[in-house]
Amino acid sequence: MIYYEILCYSCRRKFKVYEGSLKYKQFKEKKSKIFCCDDCSFKIRLDAIKNFFR
Ligand SMILES: [Zn+2]
């Protein structure tokens, strides 16, 4: 399986994005410069929801 190893901007850990996923496409096409792993994107989404209801 083809994948890229990308550094998460949030936790600074490397994570893998596999071919066919949205992040893989974004990385390949260089549409986005910052990437975060699934754990962090989940946390970020959670924080956003918390802030929304504050
Ligand atoms: Zn992360």
Give 53 Cα–ligand 1 centroid separation in angstroms.
Answer: 24
Contact 21, 2 (CB under 8 A): no
DSSP reduced 3-state for 18: strand
Give 54 Cα–ligand 1 centroid separation in angstroms.
Answer: 25
Give 42 Cα–ligand 1 centroid separation in angstroms.
Answer: 9
Give 45 Cα–ligand 1 centroid separation in angstroms.
Answer: 13
**pLDDT recorded at residue 6:** 95
**pLDDT recorded at residue 4:** 94
Give 14 Cα–ligand 1 centroid separation in angstroms.
Answer: 8
**pLDDT recorded at residue 13:** 96
**pLDDT recorded at residue 15:** 96
Rg over alpha carbons for the chain, rounded to the nearest Å, is: 13
pLDDT tens-digit profile of 1-54?
Answer: 999 999 999 999 999 999 999 999 999 998 878 899 999 999 999 999 999 987
* Residue ranges of domains in the chain: 3-52
**pLDDT recorded at residue 43:** 95
